[in-house]
Amino acid sequence: MNCIFCRIVKGEIPAEVVARTEDVVAFLDVQPLADGHVLVVPVAHEACVEDLEPAQADALFRAVTRLAGPVREAVDAAGTTIGVNNGEATGQTIPHVHVHIVPRWEQDGAGSIHTIFPRRGRRDVKEVGTAIRAGIDVARGAD
């Protein structure tokens, strides 16, 4: 396995680790979009969020909620943009789930998530809603 994030999780390559639990490791991005840009990764090597086991997903988002405040306060930011490039087509460069926590300030020149998308959805919202509801794994949602 030649995954950079797996190697960071195992301590095989250096990283500025800010938090570590049994299930999750958080460290500073080596090419930060802003001071305090943190990546939160599950210990488990999975490419996309939908590949995570429920307990792994719970631990990951729990860590994000726990870190958002300290990350923001450490660099005196006004907020954070929290996001995941989920799949190669979205710009994900490392196929190991990672949540970006990027500190933000007013007038920092970056936009909201909405600014990523030059076009808007075109399909009927009800029709799309029906398709999503039909695809939800009920068993997975129950645990």
Residue 83, SS3 per DSSP: strand
Beta carbon of residue 22, minimum distance to Zn ion (angstroms, whole number): 16
**Separation between Cα atoms, residue 25 and residue 4, nearest integer Å:** 13
Beta carbon of residue 59, minimum distance to Zn ion (angstroms, whole number): 16
Cβ atoms of 53 and 42 closer than 8 Å = no
* Residue 15 near which of ligand AMP, Zn ion, none (CB within 5-8 Å, type-dependent): ligand AMP
**Separation between Cα atoms, residue 70 and residue 95, nearest integer Å:** 27
**Separation between Cα atoms, residue 1 and residue 4, nearest integer Å:** 9
Contacts to ligand AMP by CB under 6 A: 4, 15, 29-31, 39, 85, 91-94
Q: Is 98 a catalytic residue?
A: yes
* Residue 29 near which of Zn ion, ligand AMP, none (CB within 5-8 Å, type-dependent): ligand AMP
Give the nearer residue to ligand AMP in terms of CB position, either 30 or 128. 30
Give the nearer residue to ligand AMP in terms of CB position, either 15 or 82. 15
Beta carbon of residue 93, minimum distance to Zn ion (angstroms, whole number): 13
> Which amino acid appears at position 20 of this protein?
R
Q: Among residues 37, 98, 100, 114, which one is catalytic?
A: 98
- List Cβ neighbours of 20 (8 Å cut-off, separation of 6 or more): 26
Catalytic residues: 98
